[in-house]
Amino acid sequence: MPLHKGPGEPGADRRLALNPFYGLANPIGGMTDAPPHHRLPDGPLPPMSAYQLVHDELMLDGNSRLNLATFVTTWMEPQAGVLMAECRDKNMIDKDEYPRTAELERRCVAMLADLWNAPDPNTAVGCSTTGSSEACMLAGMALKRRWAQRNGDRYPGSARPNLVMGVNVQVCWEKFCNFWEVEARLVPMEGDRFHMDAQSAADLCDENTIGVVAVLGSTFDGSYEPVAEICAALDALRERTGLDIPVHVDGASGAMIAPFLDEDLVWDFRLPRVSSINTSGHKYGLVYPGVGWALWRSPAELPEELVFRVNYLGGDMPTFALNFSRPGAQVVAQYYTFLRLGREGYRAVQQTSRDIARGLAERIEAMGDFRLLTRGDQLPVFAFTTAPEITNFDVFDVSRRLREHGWLVPAYTFPADREDLSVLRVVCRNGFSADLADLFVDDLNRLLPELRAQQHPMNRDKSAATSFHH
């Protein structure tokens, strides 16, 4: 299936229909000049006409506030929106042109280094990215380059680097291994263990392992991987074999939850084996997409040869990113949110999301038709499936029927070795209020009698039915 339909596709010659009221002066003149879909119009449109055509088509998108599939922030304060509008024309890469925007980025890195207990937050290095996917690519590049430096006599000859991680990792890690020619060694799920365990991770490591990725908040079920146990298992491996394997913590979501709600959980730079951490500012960092962050324990963990120093617009500018030009608006919004909330504000927001997730999970369990896999007590996320005795409908039926009421709830099948398990997942974010949770439960209760009355689940291609892509 092509990524995008081209002009040769059926319906490509159809034109957009113009309402007579869209025209600025002649109410019918524009109707004969309706623009085509898949080629540039011959001439310009009035700005209001162009706006209304795009606006009307976008009304067919789902309501982002009712999207319980996405981790991405769907609500910010109006003041944050104003700041972002004021900065959308600023290019983050032009640090010499926009020194204050660059300074706000530097402050955010320092704040995160302090939040994640870096040995010396003043020397920890990091950068903003377009999201966790880019941040993970950067962290993986640093792991591979450090391994290559240690194994210069064997690489790139006979040695093939590998990266150990759970099968539950986000797809960006599979992309990294594919793009940078690294073998992905995946720990499969087993029974009721839906993420990587410490011993399985250590067992897959060898002299060609560039690192282990521990996920603080799996997107499949919201659970934390045991980072401290993984580090302890790798410490024991070093004692036995001399292999010294670094750990990267993919904290896309959990790195902005655990510091506020799970303060006794040791997962960050307090563990000497953790060399780098990433997070998504646009997830539980509470900023509109797209902004992510990548941090390293110290300059020693980020090879200097990966840092480019560019003479750009009159300034010597160090940069370590896959992207070059990108807007500064999201970085400014991240600093605004840090400044606006502080530790206590973040704690209140995240605790509310967790409370709503736990309460909603309990109410769904009480219906009797579903079995919980997780309860929203780590990430404010929980996964559930149909109870064993339910045979007349499945999770894909539930997802489809909820969509009729505007709710976007993903249904998907777990990876190896639990392909037999299909689940629904609910992500509770800031902006998903207790009132909205009540409405969700009301709609689910309203649908259940009809689902129970089915003779059997809808016959459909389960791979097409799933809406889980992130």
pLDDT, tens digit, for every residue of 83-140? 999 998 998 877 778 888 988 999 999 999 999 999 999 888 999 999 999 999 999 9
pLDDT band for position 44 (50/70/90)? confident
Q: How many CA atoms lie within 13 A of 309 on its CB side?
A: 4
Return the SS3 of 425: strand
pLDDT tens profile 143-162: 999 999 999 888 887 889 99
> How much is the pLDDT for 52?
84
As a 3-state breakdown, the chain gives helix, strand, coil percent values, each rounded to 5, of: 40, 15, 45
Please choose, from the candidates 359, 416, 393, 417, the residue with its C-alpha nearest in 3D space to the C-alpha of residue 465: 393
Residue 95 in tokens:
């640090």
Return the SS3 of 441: helix
> How much is the pLDDT for 96?
76
> How much is the pLDDT for 23?
57
Query: For residue 308, what are the β-bridge partners?
Result: 319
Q: What is the pTM of this model?
A: 0.91
Spell out the alpha helix ranges (H) of 386-461.
395-403, 434-452
Which residues are CB-contacts of 371 (< 8 A; sequence separation ≥ 6)?
365, 384, 385, 386, 387, 388
CB 275 within 8 A of CB 301: yes
Mean pLDDT score of the chain: 90
Lowest mean pLDDT among 156-160, 204-208, 298-302, 334-338: 156-160
pLDDT tens profile 166-193: 999 999 999 999 999 999 999 999 999 9
Which H helix or E strand runs over 308? strand 308-312
CB 445 within 8 A of CB 407: no
Cis amide bond preceding 244, omega within 30: no
Average pLDDT over residues 265-286: 98
> How much is the pLDDT for 318?
66
> How much is the pLDDT for 123?
83
> How much is the pLDDT for 320?
81
> How much is the pLDDT for 376?
98
Average pLDDT over residues 10-20: 61
Lowest mean pLDDT among 18-27, 57-66, 307-316, 379-388: 18-27
Average pLDDT over residues 331-353: 98
> How much is the pLDDT for 310?
65
> How much is the pLDDT for 385?
98
CB 143 within 8 A of CB 136: no
Which residues are CB-contacts of 199 (< 8 A; sequence separation ≥ 6)?
233
> How much is the pLDDT for 175?
96
Separation between Cα atoms, residue 216 and residue 173, nearest integer Å: 14
